[in-house]
């Protein structure tokens, strides 16, 4: 059942103009769908606008029960997700913590 909905969701997203290369969706163990879409179509749009537009488009194509089967779909541009072929930058080294003197209790 979950696989059939995953395929239907991909079909709907393709009709909305997304390519298979832009869709990164998977089934959860409970049969729901989650993932992300990496697309130039989101460039210059706020995350809120992207989500509003995506969910409005999905609501026109899917039933309420089908929409409830979607855990989350992140909407990002290629720059926001980074180039997967390049090595990730190392995180900055932790900074030493300043030592604080413990205040003395007055008797």
* pLDDT tens digits, 2-53: 899 999 999 999 999 999 999 999 999 999 999 999 999 999 999 999 999 9
Among 9, 1, 2, 3, smallest CA distance to 55 is for 9
Residue 107 located in a structural domain: no
Mind listing the pLDDT tens digit for each residue in 78-98? Answer: 999 885 554 445 455 555 555
How many domains in the chain? 1
Distance between CA atoms of 92 and 60, rounded to whole angstroms? 45
Q: Tell me, what's the pLDDT at 2?
A: 86
Report the CATH number that the domain containing residue 47 is assigned in CATH. 3.30.300.90
Q: Tell me, what's the pLDDT at 81?
A: 85
Handedness of CA 21, 61, 49, 27 (dihedral sign): negative
Residue 58 located in a structural domain: yes
> Domain range spanning residue 39?
2-81
């Amino acid at each position: 059942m979950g696989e059939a909905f995953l395929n239907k969701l991909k079909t709907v997203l393709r009709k909305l103009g997304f390519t298979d290369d832009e869709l990164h969706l998977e089934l959860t163990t409970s049969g729901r769908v989650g993932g992300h879409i990496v697309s130039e179509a989101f460039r210059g749009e706020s995350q809120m606008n992207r989500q509003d537009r995506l969910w409005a488009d999905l609501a026109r194509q899917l039933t309420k029960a089908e929409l409830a089967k979607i855990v989350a779909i992140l909407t990002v541009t290629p720059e926001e997700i980074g180039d997967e072929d390049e090595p990730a930058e190392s995180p900055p080294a932790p900074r030493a913590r300043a030592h604080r003197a413990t205040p003395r209790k007055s008797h």
